């Protein structure tokens, strides 16, 4: 299997597990807030869901950044 496919598979599985843990963890959350976008605002969501989903999305997209060193 290609390195890129392995990386995509691992990242998807890892972030899906984090998302499931996030959904289980916010079951008893009572503090809710709305997010204001440029045009509209979202429904009232738990603050922990907003923060956690932002972390998971950042983790997913950040996994595709590669740092290559030029050894000369």
Identify the pLDDT of residue 65: 79
Query: 70 in a domain, yes or no?
Result: no
pLDDT confidence band for 72 (50 / 70 / 90): low
Find the DSSP H helices in the chain: 3-25, 47-62
Is the full-model pTM beyond 0.85? Answer: no
Query: 26 in a domain, yes or no?
Result: yes
Number of residues that this document lists for the chain: 72
By C-alpha distance, which of 10, 6, 7, 1 is closest to 65?
7
Query: 43 in a domain, yes or no?
Result: yes
Query: 16 in a domain, yes or no?
Result: yes
Q: Range of 36's domain? A: 10-62
Identify the pLDDT of residue 67: 64
Taking a C-beta distance cutoff of 8 angstroms, is the pair 43, 34 a contact? yes
Q: pLDDT tens digits, residue range 9-64? A: 888 999 999 999 888 888 887 788 887 878 888 888 888 888 888 899 998 888 87
The C-alpha angle 52, 54, 69, rounded to 5 degrees, equals 115
Query: 1 in a domain, yes or no?
Result: no
Query: 36 in a domain, yes or no?
Result: yes
**In this structure, what token pair is assigned to residue 49?**
């869901």
| Strand, coil or helix: 41 | strand
User: Looking at the 3D structure of the chain, how many domains does it have?
Assistant: 1
Query: 29 in a domain, yes or no?
Result: yes
């Amino acid at each position: 299997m290609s390195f890129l496919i392995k990386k995509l598979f691992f990242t998807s599985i890892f972030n899906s597990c984090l998302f499931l843990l996030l959904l289980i963890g916010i079951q008893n959350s009572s503090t809710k807030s709305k997010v204001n976008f440029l045009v509209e605002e979202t429904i009232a969501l738990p603050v922990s869901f907003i923060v956690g989903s932002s972390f998971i999305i950042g983790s997913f997209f950040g996994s595709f950044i590669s740092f290559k060193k030029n050894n000369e």
